[in-house]
Structure 1
Amino acid sequence: MNRLKDATSPYLLQHADNPVDWHEWGEDAFAEARRRDVPLLVSVGYSACHWCHVMAHESFEDAETARMMNELFVNVKVDREERPDVDAVYMNATTAMTGHGGWPMTVFATPEGHPFYTGTYFPRPQFQRLLSGVAQAWTQERDEVLAQGTKVVEALSHGSDLPEGPLPTAETTETAVRDLARTFDATRGGFGGAPKFPPSMVLEFLLRHGTPEAMAMAENTLSAMARGGMYDQLGGGFARYSVDAGWVVPHFEKMLYDNALLLRVYAHWWRSAGSPLARRVALETADWLLREMRTPEGGFASALDADSEGVEGRFYVWTPKELRAALGEERGAWAASAFEVTGPGTFEHGASVLQLLTDPADAALLAEVRAELLAARAARVRPGRDDKVVAAWNGLAIAALAETGALFDRPDLVDAARAAAELLDGLHLDGARLTRTSRDGRAGANAGVLEDYADVAEGFLALYGVTGESRWFDRAGALLGTVLDRFPDGSGGFYDTADDGERLFQRPQDPTDNATPSGQFAAAGALLSYAALTGSARHREAAQAAIGAVSVLAGKHARFAGWGLAVAEAVLGGPVEVAITGPLGDPRTIALHRAALMAGAPGMVIAIGDEGVPLMEGRGLVGGLPAAYVCRAFTCRAPVTSPADLASELRASPAR
């Protein structure tokens, strides 16, 4: 009998009925391994992971495999989303030892947690041979095994090899654009070949950079992703990635973090270019988040599975026959043509994902067909949902929904952002310390990591800029105080775990972006915004030091520094500070606020509604009228009282 029945992770609960005697990560597992004098078998995955499910069905649900695991090892199951620190150190070991990584990740470690053999997915026959071989080596070649574990730990104990760099300049960001252009796919959008992941942070940088070359790369990619099979053409929301180079065939899991980041980018694209496609995708993705990802407590769930009925993508794909059955012969044939569901099909049995490569002339018919197909799809077996609330990803969603709601005059989206923020404030936040996860209104036992503090602070600051509710400014300040007190590495960067967190064989630190902004670059962005609202030199200097790595990455690895480059654009732009004074409900105040929101200067901060925020201090009404002050480093121009004048002031801001 395993010990996962009381876990808060849906991924761990998926394994609660396995015949494997699973432990959760913790001292009990280490103590049991020492008592029995056997290695640890650490299996790391997440609930929406297709190959994790495959290995579970093949091996962890198999009685003979489970018997071998139980007799020969102490088995530990880890949700990488709950414990990104554990995942990070063992993934470092796995990639160092095998040359690649991925999930499920399989690690054999000493009772002290030192890895000595690693891999990812193993088919059952190979896995059973591996279990026997590792156990035999532990028994008969113990010295060599221990030496291997020590060697791995020593090799990984030096932290990040990325050198520090100077503060990025305009030349740094221009160099990054040139580096991105070298791998840009001008035909299909995106960067490099298959598989293609949505380059959310890079796209944000390109929009902020704003040159014709940068905008062309961003718009080409955003359009291609929105029209391809990776985007859910019926219900909104993006799948995790495309297995091909043309955004056609998705890996169907849907992650909160991808959709939060992409929602914000598409809203910013609309703000900068007025694209109708950007507007549609932003609003559809926001509606998808509210419809399918909200939890009863007001937060947002982590992911939807790729599989349903045991088949990857079954929920989302269609055959021409299914389209005709749902819509009738004539409209079914029209839909098959409009959505590119023709030919032999993308998948087995003639099924295809839906694409919308061109906009049909009959927009009303398209809307009608979409609604009917969405209703028909609702009768299918839905993919499973991982409904744990991850602080960092909810922070990303708060920022995206608050800004999208403000830009498109959708107060329901702002309300959803506020509700998620209230959940984090009430359940995850204890003073200035964060808990990473919760589920069903119960907080988990996992301490927040750097990305949690940074992304939640970013979300709270964005929510303050939209609502003028200073409590979110105050909460962000407390979180960033913890970042500055608990996470610094002593040389200008940040560790991913706090100095009083659990000690692993390596203290993880990775300044580069992955599927989400790196903790270091996310912290830099939030620190910079807070500095712009407060005038704090401490916060600004910390932000500038943290993005120094961008100067090193820009020329050869810009794809892994997108958020850092976006923050660099904000530094180069000031960032612009806008203080708006006047009653929040006054239409004149509202009009000034909207003019500021629509300006979109890189990293611009907006203070409104409360003189408790330092940027608001001394900013009074002008002739009894609401007024806006455009500032840099707390040095302001003459206030203006009309939205047109404010827009003109923001357009006239001096170039960097």
Structure 2
Amino acid sequence: MSSSHSTDGPVNSLVNSKSPYLLQHANNPVDWYEWGQEAFDKAKRENKPIFLSVGYSACHWCHVLAHESFEDELTAKIMNEHYVNIKVDREERPDVDRLYMTFLQATNGRGGWPMSVWLTPDLHPFFAGTYFPKGTFREVLMKLAKVWERDPNRCIESGKQVIDMLRESSNTAPEGGVTVRPLASKIFQRLDKQFDAVHGGFGGAPKFPSPAQTLHFLSRYSAFHLSDPSASAQDKRNAEKARDMAVFTLTKIYNGGIRDVVGGGFSRYSVDEHWHVPHFEKMLYDQAQLLSSALDSYQLLPGSSRDKTTLELMAKDIISYVGKYLTSPEGGLYSAEDADSLPSNDDTVKKEGAFYVWTAKQLDELLGEDAEMFRYYFGVKEQGNCDPSHDILEELKGQNVLFTAHTPEETADKFGKSVEEVQKILEADLAQLREYRDKYRPRPHLDDKILTCWNGLMISGLSRAYEVLSAESDIATKALKLAENSAAFIRTHLYNEQTGELRRSYREGQGPTGQADDYAFFIQGLLDLYEASSKEEYLLWAVDLQKKQDELFYDSEGGGYFASAPDPHILIRMKDAQDGAEPSAVSVSLSNLQRLAHFAEDKHAEYNEKAQSIIASNGQLLKQAPFALATMVSAALMADKGYMQFIHTASKQDGASEGALLKLIRSTFIPNRVLIHLDPANPPRKLAELNSSLRSLVQELNKKGPGAEMKENVRICENFACGLPIEDTEELKKRLPLIPAA
């Protein structure tokens, strides 16, 4: 990119960016640069420290800092005079974010966005924080500028020491002897202590769903023990409790204000302990993980119940929302919708949640005689239902965030109607509000960049939905189509067929090079999409991408995987196995390698060696703080249990319904499952070249010749030894590890 900066005065170069977040700052009076050589050279040439600001486009407090400080002429003058100012979209450059967030957390004890970091011209950090109020921010800018002017060596030495310390702590020696079951028990015990039995979730406000750290683990811990005939009575009780904690949390999230009851989708987190008042940004990665977690818990619950119905509604809500609002015309999935928006088409100042909240008066005018029932059901109050202590900027004063305050039965009893009548009236009311909102309120800003990693997470959730919600239903068919369209977009726009490499993002062209989470999450998505669709191409692509990930990110000396692509400006190439808002890339890679070892079993030794190196390279942290690596412990737990390879054989004809055996397998929560599809008329010959068990079956089919009749059957293989074909559903039920009660 050619420079847009001139010697005549500051010119904000972000106008040349493709990132929606950076473009939000393109008209600031701050002389912003993108992360790159031009900014680094300027800092060295002028011997100025760097002010690094990291955030993302849907971040509410990023907007507040921008409005208060970056749009302020006096503050901008201070920044331009004393610093080289760099703005980074954390979603496009997670490697930059990861390094300096580690510094922020190490020095402040906590992190978050917006992230504000002061660097030497050599990119060493010497001070950091998150959001600073306007006056405080100016004070910090001036104080650090004076420190640099008086004694720059002090900042330089401090920065070097910090980087040396972080480098040393990141280069831990591999450690063996990791036993996964006790680690899983420690995580469960910790979550059990933190569990909020009243409101769901873990810990107090603010509350994040945190599926990677909690829900994903709990479902696998539960399945591990519930399906173990030798498990102790205490293990069984713990397993049921783990399941119930996940279910209770998900139902509370669904019934809280964190869900957009009018238009669907879930906000990133709640500022209070009972999931009522959210920060209203909607992130694709949250939709993806909540979808998968809802489906896990749905399958774990026996029989039928209100909770099970709620989990099904939650999954359908997410699929509908993503399909309607986060899907590009070409099939790629957008990143997020903003927290802030204009209250009406006539307003010029955005407020947080303006698109989503309602006054009691508005509801009365719109809903007429239905308003009283609606207000009762959704917890509406005359003066607003948002706690002022959670509304620092008073943007929600007098407003109501809708949530499920009463059950349909309670509402029916109060208003003398049947439950069916209540539900019908409420559905009509919500449709009316949706129509009004879409017509008279500007929709929040859409972050329309398409990230490979988040599309991978969503492909996994959508693929699971196709299997769990009955492959023949309309919503399941829609889910599979969304997943396949997303994969097709990435192949067309974010994948290089010649080099085998992924790019991270797309918006008006390709973004930066792919990072480890792009490979890990997308490989996982392809494996799930293969199991759902039976299309061999997805599995073969996953095999190829794993080879490329190994080439680019595997640490052949210390074992495990780096999280960041090689970059001379990233001072420490970190591995970072800890879960955050998303699962860690290395933990998902562990799961991928374990699955691939059974899909392409001829490469088992190679995959297993790399999988074991992940455990060993994180051995110290696993033993010290397993709860920080819950996704890794979950994956290791599945390997400890042993994978079940199902080879499902059935003729695949256009319009044919899902076979009874396949439906039974898919109705069961088997997180240690590998499902291989074999169509006698069109056997997966390329996959058979990588899988000896499948190869022998294809050879048998060849001997029978074309046109031979083949009844649907399943072979179950464990420890690379396959049993006889099973053709009867009752017989298959006996072999499955966990069957929900009818």
Does TM-score exceed 0.5, indicating one fold? yes
C-alpha displacement at 1:285, in angstroms? 0.8
C-alpha displacement at 1:130, in angstroms? 2.6
Task: Return closer, same or farther for 1:539/1:253 CA change in 2, 3 Å cut-off.
Answer: same
Superposed, 1:166-315 pairs within 5 Å as 166-201=177-212, 202-210=214-222, 211-273=239-301, 275-309=308-342, 310-315=350-355
Greater Cα shift, 212-221 or 486-495: 486-495
Letter in 1 for 2:424: A
1:57-91 Cα offsets, whole Å, 9 max, x none, are 12211222222222222111100111011011111
C-alpha displacement at 1:164, in angstroms? 4.0
* Residue of structure 1 in register with 2:487 after alignment: 421
Mapped to 1, the partners of 2:130 and 2:176 lie a distance apart of 34
Q: Percent identity?
A: 36
Task: Return closer, same or farther for 1:559/1:176 CA change in 2, 3 Å cut-off.
Answer: closer
- Partner residue of 1:605 out of 663, 674, 677: 674
* Residue of structure 1 in register with 2:360 after alignment: 320
Mapped to 2, the partners of 1:228 and 1:530 lie a distance apart of 39
Q: Tell me the matched-pair count.
A: 649
- Is the contact between residue 465 and residue 606 of structure 1 (CA under 8 Å) also seen in structure 2? yes
- Is the contact between residue 167 and residue 547 of structure 1 (CA under 8 Å) also seen in structure 2? yes
Task: Return closer, same or farther for 1:433/1:159 CA change in 2, 3 Å cut-off.
Answer: farther
Tell whether 2:561 aligns with 1:494: yes
Q: CA RMSD for the aligned pairs?
A: 2.3
Task: Return closer, same or farther for 1:560/1:345 CA change in 2, 3 Å cut-off.
Answer: farther
Tell whether 2:99 aligns with 1:82: no
C-alpha displacement at 1:171, in angstroms? 3.6
Task: Return closer, same or farther for 1:550/1:320 CA change in 2, 3 Å cut-off.
Answer: farther
* Residue of structure 2 in register with 1:394 after alignment: 455
Larger Rg computed on CA atoms: 2
- Partner residue of 2:401 out of 353, 371, 374: 353
1:15-63 Cα offsets, whole Å, 9 max, x none, are 1111222111011111111122212111111111111111111221122
- Is the contact between residue 651 and residue 710 of structure 2 (CA under 8 Å) also seen in structure 1? no
Task: Return closer, same or farther for 1:224/1:369 CA change in 2, 3 Å cut-off.
Answer: same
* Residue of structure 1 in register with 2:542 after alignment: 476
- Is the contact between residue 99 and residue 572 of structure 2 (CA under 8 Å) also seen in structure 1? yes
TM-score, normalised to structure 2's length?
0.83
Greater Cα shift, 581-590 or 127-136: 581-590
Gaps of 5+ in 2: 1-10, 223-238, 343-349, 387-395, 409-418, 679-683, 702-707
Superposed, 1:501-516 pairs within 5 Å as 501-516=567-582
Task: Return closer, same or farther for 1:165/1:356 CA change in 2, 3 Å cut-off.
Answer: farther
Letter in 2 for 1:254: K
Superposed, 1:524-603 pairs within 5 Å as 524-535=590-601, 536-547=604-615, 557=625, 559-585=627-653, 587=656, 590-603=659-672
The 3-state SS of whatever aligns with 1:443 is: coil
1:557-588 Cα offsets, whole Å, 9 max, x none, are 55433322321332133221111123222747
Mapped to 2, the partners of 1:556 and 1:323 lie a distance apart of 53
Gaps of 5+ in 1: none
The 3-state SS of whatever aligns with 1:628 is: strand
- Is the contact between residue 403 and residue 466 of structure 1 (CA under 8 Å) also seen in structure 2? yes
Task: Return closer, same or farther for 1:359/1:558 CA change in 2, 3 Å cut-off.
Answer: farther
The 3-state SS of whatever aligns with 2:16 is: coil
* Residue of structure 1 in register with 2:58 after alignment: 48
* Residue of structure 1 in register with 2:234 after alignment: none
Letter in 2 for 1:578: F
Mapped to 2, the partners of 1:557 and 1:254 lie a distance apart of 30
- Is the contact between residue 180 and residue 633 of structure 2 (CA under 8 Å) also seen in structure 1? no
- Partner residue of 1:619 out of 691, 697, 710: 697
* Residue of structure 2 in register with 1:640 after alignment: 726
- Is the contact between residue 492 and residue 546 of structure 1 (CA under 8 Å) also seen in structure 2? yes
Mapped to 2, the partners of 1:453 and 1:302 lie a distance apart of 17
TM-score, normalised to structure 1's length?
0.94
Task: Return closer, same or farther for 1:525/1:139 CA change in 2, 3 Å cut-off.
Answer: same
Mapped to 2, the partners of 1:69 and 1:396 lie a distance apart of 38
Letter in 2 for 1:185: D
The 3-state SS of whatever aligns with 1:630 is: strand
- Is the contact between residue 243 and residue 297 of structure 2 (CA under 8 Å) also seen in structure 1? no
1:520-539 Cα offsets, whole Å, 9 max, x none, are 11111111111121112221
Mapped to 1, the partners of 2:110 and 2:74 lie a distance apart of 29
Letter in 2 for 1:50: H
* Residue of structure 1 in register with 2:24 after alignment: 14
C-alpha displacement at 1:369, in angstroms? 2.3
- Is the contact between residue 583 and residue 589 of structure 1 (CA under 8 Å) also seen in structure 2? no
* Residue of structure 2 in register with 1:155 after alignment: 165
Letter in 2 for 1:107: V
